[in-house]
Amino acid sequence: MKSQDIRKQFLDFFQSKGHLIVPSAPIVLKDDPTLMFNNSGMAQFKEYFLGNGTPKSKRIADTQKCLRVSGKHNDLEDVGFDTYHHTMFEMLGNWSFGDYFKKEAINWAWELLTEVYKIPKENLYVSVFEGNPDENVPFDQEAWDLWKGLIDEDRIILGNKKDNFWEMGDQGPCGPCSEIHVDLRSDAEKALVSGKSLVNNDHPQVVEIWNNVFMEFNRKADGSLEKLPAQHVDTGMGFERLCMALQGKTSNYDTDVFTPLIEKVEQITGLKYTSNEIQNISEEQNKTNIAIRVVVDHVRAVAFAIADGQLPSNTGAGYVIRRILRRAIRYGFTFLGTKEPFINKLVEVLANQMGEFFPEIKSQQQLVANVIREEEASFLRTLDQGLQLLDKVILESKEKIINGEKAFELYDTFGFPIDLTALILREKGYELDEEGFNSAMQAQKTRSRAASEVSTEDWSVLIPGNVETFVGYDQTENDVKITRIRKVDSKKDGVLYQIVLDHTPFYPEGGGQVGDKGILSPALSKGEGAIEIIDTKKENNLILHFAKQLPENVNASFIAKVNTGLRASTSKNHSATHLMHQALRKILGTHVEQKGSLVNPNYLRFDFSHFAKMTEAELQQVEDFVNARIQEQLPLIERRNIPIQQALNEGAMALFGEKYGDNVRAIKFGESMELCGGIHVKNTAEIWNFKIISEGAVAAGIRRIEAITSDAVKAHFELQENTLNEVKEALKNPQDVLKAVHSLQEDNAKLTKQIEALMKEKVKNLKTALMVEIHEINGVQFLAKQVDLSPEGAKDLAYELGTFGTNLFLVLATAEEGKPTLSCYISKELVASKNLNAGTIVRELGKFIQGGGGGQPFFATAGGKNAAGIKDALEKAMDFVK
Ligand code: SER
Does one domain contain both 404 and 329? yes
Residue 260 lies in a domain: no
Residue stretches of the chain with pLDDT short of 50: none
Q: Which residues contact 115 (CB under 8 A, 6 or more apart)?
A: none
Pocket of ligand 1 (CB under 6 A): 40-42, 93, 166, 211, 213, 234-236
Which atom of ligand 1 is nearest the CA belonging to 213?
5
Residue of 188, 206, 201 whose CA lies nearest to 245: 206
Compute the distance from residue 80 Cα to the ligand 1 centre, in Å: 22
Compute the distance from residue 233 Cα to the ligand 1 centre, in Å: 10
Does one domain contain both 336 and 441? yes
**CATH no. for residue 691?**
3.30.980.10
Compute the distance from residue 236 Cα to the ligand 1 centre, in Å: 5
Using CA atoms, how far apart are residues 474 and 675, in angstroms rounded to an integer?
18
Q: What does the pLDDT read at residue 405?
A: 87
Domain's final residue, options 562, 590, 612: 562
Using CA atoms, how far apart are residues 498 and 504, in angstroms rounded to an integer?
14
Domain's final residue, options 394, 419, 452: 452
Q: What does the pLDDT read at residue 447?
A: 80
Residue nearest to atom 2 of ligand 1 (CA): 236
- Mutating to test ligand 1, I would choose from 63, 90, 97, 166 the residue with most ligand atoms within 8 A of its C-beta, which is 166
The number of residues making up the chain comes to 882
Say if CB 847 and CB 815 are below 8 A apart.
no
Q: Which residues contact 444 (CB under 8 A, 6 or more apart)?
A: 408, 412
Residue 213 lies in a domain: yes
Residue 738 lies in a domain: no
Compute the distance from residue 91 Cα to the ligand 1 centre, in Å: 8
Does one domain contain both 427 and 523? no
Residue 358's domain comprises 284-452
What residues form DSSP beta bridges with 827? none
Q: What does the pLDDT read at residue 31?
A: 64
Domain's final residue, options 667, 698, 718: 718
CA–CA distance from 29 to each of 6, 308, 539, 604, 699 (Å)? 27, 10, 11, 22, 21
Using CA atoms, how far apart are residues 41 and 751, in angstroms rounded to an integer?
71
Residue 53 lies in a domain: yes
Look up the pTM and report it.
0.75
Does one domain contain both 534 and 446? no
Compute the distance from residue 215 Cα to the ligand 1 centre, in Å: 11
Does one domain contain both 63 and 192? yes
Q: What does the pLDDT read at residue 189?
A: 94
Residue nearest to atom 4 of ligand 1 (CA): 40
Q: What does the pLDDT read at residue 28?
A: 87
Residue 345 lies in a domain: yes
Q: Tens digit of pLDDT for each residue in 103-112?
A: 999 999 999 9
Q: What does the pLDDT read at residue 71?
A: 66
Q: Tens digit of pLDDT for each residue in 32-48?
A: 666 789 988 998 898 88
Does one domain contain both 664 and 543? no
CA–CA distance from 53 to each of 19, 39, 57, 338 (Å)? 18, 21, 12, 50
Q: Which helix (H) or strand (E) holds 771?
A: helix 737-771
Does one domain contain both 152 and 12? yes
Which atom of ligand 1 is nearest the CA belonging to 91?
6
- Mutating to test ligand 1, I would choose from 42, 181, 214 the residue with most ligand atoms within 8 A of its C-beta, which is 42
**CATH no. for residue 180?**
3.30.930.10
Q: What does the pLDDT read at residue 636?
A: 98
Using CA atoms, how far apart are residues 97 and 232, in angstroms rounded to an integer?
5
3-state secondary structure labels for all residues of 147-197: HHCCCCHHHEEEECHHHHEEECCCCEEEEEEEEEEEECCCHHHHHHCCHHH
Does one domain contain both 176 and 309? no
Compute the distance from residue 477 Cα to the ligand 1 centre, in Å: 42
Q: What does the pLDDT read at residue 73?
A: 67
Does one domain contain both 377 and 466? no
Does one domain contain both 445 and 467? no
Does one domain contain both 36 and 49? yes
Using CA atoms, how far apart are residues 784 and 380, in angstroms rounded to an integer?
42
**CATH no. for residue 847?**
3.10.310.40
Q: What does the pLDDT read at residue 383?
A: 84
Positive or negative CA dihedral for 361, 364, 365, 367?
Answer: negative
Q: How many domains does the chain have?
A: 5
Q: What are phi and psi of 149, to 5 degrees?
A: -75, -15
Residue 751 lies in a domain: no
Say if CB 612 and CB 604 are below 8 A apart.
no
- Mutating to test ligand 1, I would choose from 24, 35, 40 the residue with most ligand atoms within 8 A of its C-beta, which is 40
Residue 768 lies in a domain: yes
Say if CB 85 and CB 79 are below 8 A apart.
yes
- Pick out the residues of the known binding site for Zn(2+): 574, 578, 676, 680
Say if CB 293 and CB 39 are below 8 A apart.
no
Residue nearest to atom 3 of ligand 1 (CA): 236
Does one domain contain both 591 and 546? no
Residue 743 lies in a domain: no
